[in-house]
Amino acid sequence: MFNYKENKKYILSYLILAFFIVVGIIAFYIFNPQKNLLTNNLDNMNINNENYIKNKDEKNNPNNTETISASKNISGDNSVVQKIPSEKTSKNYIDFSGWNSSCNPALVVINKDNPIPTNYNSKIIDYKDVKINSIIKNDLDNMINDAAKLGLKIYPSSGYRSVERQTMLFNKQVSKCKKQGYKSETAESVAATVVARPRTSEHHTGLAIDFNEIRDDFYKTKEYNWLIKNAAEYGFILRYPKDKIDTTNVIYEPWHFRYIGKELAKEIIRTGLCYEEYIESIMKK
């Protein structure tokens, strides 16, 4: 029979132990040095998940084709929206504005320091559960179908993301930071380490695709290994490789691929450069 008095000290010990475990978990979450690195990820998983849900909702939208101009999207009424990122804080800052103003739209370079050009136009279409740039449809289709013939299930879980949506997500994060006690002037900078500032996500072009479950361990899958070996044949490259973090300023994202066309994709694989490095080498010529 259970004797409360006899077991009291054991129960108390367990309670104390449970308390320290909970405190430990909370402390680990707060002080984890990996956290900043992970949250610096431009493709912040919350965005992708939210976007994924949104894209599912958008399936019912009768307008399945829309032409998006980046410029029209930045004219919001929120002051946060209108501030175009201007910090040149990346370790290897490279100015691609000259390149972006005259290159083929499929070859635009977008990152933290190089926002999408205001006059960037793309035809965005529905594709499976996401939206994509119409120019990638055939190659994406062929890639997914050829992989399927080998029994591999590759599917897009995030594609085009509007500047408006990124703005909404960013402003939401700014408000969250303010609630946490950050002053207005620093709240934006802190928010930018978690959610990419509007106009600085490659997903605005519809040329970037996040495949499958958007997981850090996607690199362990057969699907990833097939993509690494074959994606260039269809015009896609792994955009944020593990050994190029210092240049891309984005953590290794095994799920994020970028369309740049077959010829260039194969050339980049041959050189072993990442996208920023390759375009920089072309600009120097």
- Catalytic center residues: 253
Amino acid code (one letter) for 271? T
Nearer to Zn ion, 188 or 210 (CB): 210
Nearer to Zn ion, 139 or 253 (CB): 253
Nearer to Zn ion, 210 or 223 (CB): 210
Nearer to Zn ion, 43 or 280 (CB): 43
Give the residue from 56, 66, 78 showing the smallest Cα distance to 170: 78
Tell me the closest approach of the beta carbon of residue 24 to Zn ion, in angstroms: 33
Cα–Cα distances in angstroms (integers) from residue 176 to residues 41, 46, 69, 186, in the given order? 18, 14, 29, 12
Q: Which are the contacts of 197, defined by CB distance < 8 A and separation ≥ 6?
A: 85, 112, 115, 166, 170
- Which residues contribute to the site for Zn ion (CB under 5 A)? 43, 210, 256
Distance, in Å, from the CA atom of 233 to the CA atom of 251, rounded to the nearest integer, reads 25
151-170 residues labelled b (16+ CB within 10 A) or e (exposed) = ebebebbbbbbbbbbbbbbb
Distance, in Å, from the CA atom of 140 to the CA atom of 104, rounded to the nearest integer, reads 19
Nearer to Zn ion, 156 or 187 (CB): 156
- Strand pairing class (256-259; 156-158): unpaired
Number of neighbouring beta carbons within 10 Å of residue 277: 16
Helix axes 275-284, 262-271, angle to 10 degrees: 100
Asked if residues 222 and 184 have their Cβ atoms less than 8 Å apart, the reply is no
